[in-house]
Amino acid sequence: MASELTGTIKNHVTRLARYQALETYAARVLGGWLAGIARWEVKQRVAYHLWEDLQISRQLRTRLWELRVNQPDRELPPQLQDAFHLLAMAQADFELLAGVYLVLKAELEKAYQRYIETTFDIYDHPSVLVLRHVLPMRQAQTTWARRIVDELADTGEKRRQVQRWMQFSHAVLAACGGIDGNTPIQEMPTLPPAYGLLLPFVEARRDDRFEVTIGSPAKPAESDHAAYVIWQFSNYVQEMQAAETLATILWEVEGVEWEFYYDIARHCWDEVRHSEIGQTRLGQLGYHIADFPSAVGSYAWRQLFDPLIRYCALTYVIEADSFKLKHASYQHYLEQGDMDSAQPIMYDIMDETMHVRFGQKWVPPLMKHYGYAGTLDDLITACRQIVATHSVAPAQREAVLAHSGQA
């Protein structure tokens, strides 16, 4: 009886470890695809969902720690990573969303409900509480995705593509042992003809409401308050590019501590919120974000470099150098009595302070991960020069050059 009971407990723990890994993989696939999603509102929601996925993963990992599993990823079958890469090989955003949400996440939703119903309700009640807490997130995501996939797959051919990709995605999950890992491992299914990995995207996609441009406009004089507000908050909208850059890092960096993915996902979602700061303020002023060109050049030039350079340039240079302008803008808005503009700037400053700390936390480990031979100062200097040379945002270049004494 004792050995039978231990085996059952082990099965429950193995399932929880698998679920937390699948939540992390789901977030990383969505990160890889963020730049490739064209519709603005869908891109925003997916960025929030990938952060939500990693919050779910964190709750599961915390429970696993309580169950004496200190390294939940150690004994995961390699087929899970194979499955994760195959699910990323959709050829259209509506296929990707169908595979991740309507197959993988829908199966996780069922698995969580099944776990709640079959575990030891008293002995394992902390696990039950975790899963009851995360189930509404999982359900809300899949409900949203059903509506969005229906909207995006708006022709018969697109609907056929969705059905084919969902069938393939189900086959992928089955081949890696099913959502619970309790069925035999099989050979992975063959991709549909002409399918392959599109990631990482070299260009960030926008829907056809937007006029796409490379760079951002120059800063107007602060004395022209109306023009300055429009400039600043239309620039905030462009921070979607920072989110897309971080999302590529979430996808591309393999084999590092789980907490790295958690922090990158938070950073990514924060940048989407900063974009929404701009969207909200422009809306208050009577504008729609599509009234202004949508810049994609900052994402494009950062994709010329590896994730270490991208992340160091973003945190140690672009974000760290932005505080002078943001503090000056905050004071300007206070002097003008414009609290609708001042308050979001201060929230942004607090977020960016945390992001710089993320960089201080993770750039040194990434240097080891990528075998960077120089010092941290060498890397920061190189990144500063890269930003000064490649940036297509005038205010960003001005900040970098001012820091270097070249302005």
Name the token pair of 264.
């990158």
H or E element, residue 361: helix 339-369
pLDDT in tens, 111-143: 999 999 999 889 999 999 999 999 999 999 999
Q: 375: how many CB neighbours lie within 10 A of its CB?
A: 10
- Residue 390 has a pLDDT of 97
pLDDT digits (tens, 9 = 90+) for 190-214: 999 999 999 999 999 999 999 999 9
The pLDDT assigned to 338 comes to: 97
Instruction: Give the residues of the chain that fall short of pLDDT 50.
Output: 1-5
Q: What's the CA gap between 203 and 196, in Å, rounded?
A: 17
pLDDT of residue 2: 46
SS3 212: strand
At residue 6, the pLDDT reads 53
Q: How far apart are the first and last CA of the chain?
A: 76
Residue 119: CB atoms within 10 Å: 20
- Show the DSSP H helices in 93-124 as ranges: 93-97, 106-118
SS3 label, residue 294:
strand
Tokens (6 digits) for 40: 């603005």
The pLDDT value recorded for residue 121 is 84
- Looking at 135-261, which runs of residues are DSSP E strands? 212-213
Q: Do the beta carbons of residue 293 and residue 212 sit within 8 Å?
A: yes
- Token pair 């591309």 is found at 252
Q: Which pLDDT value is given to residue 8?
A: 82
* Total-model pTM: 0.96
Give me the pLDDT at residue 123, please. 92
Give the DSSP H/E element, type plus range, for residue 283.
helix 258-284
Map out the domains of the chain with their CATH numbers. 2-175 (1.20.1260), 213-403 (1.20.1260)
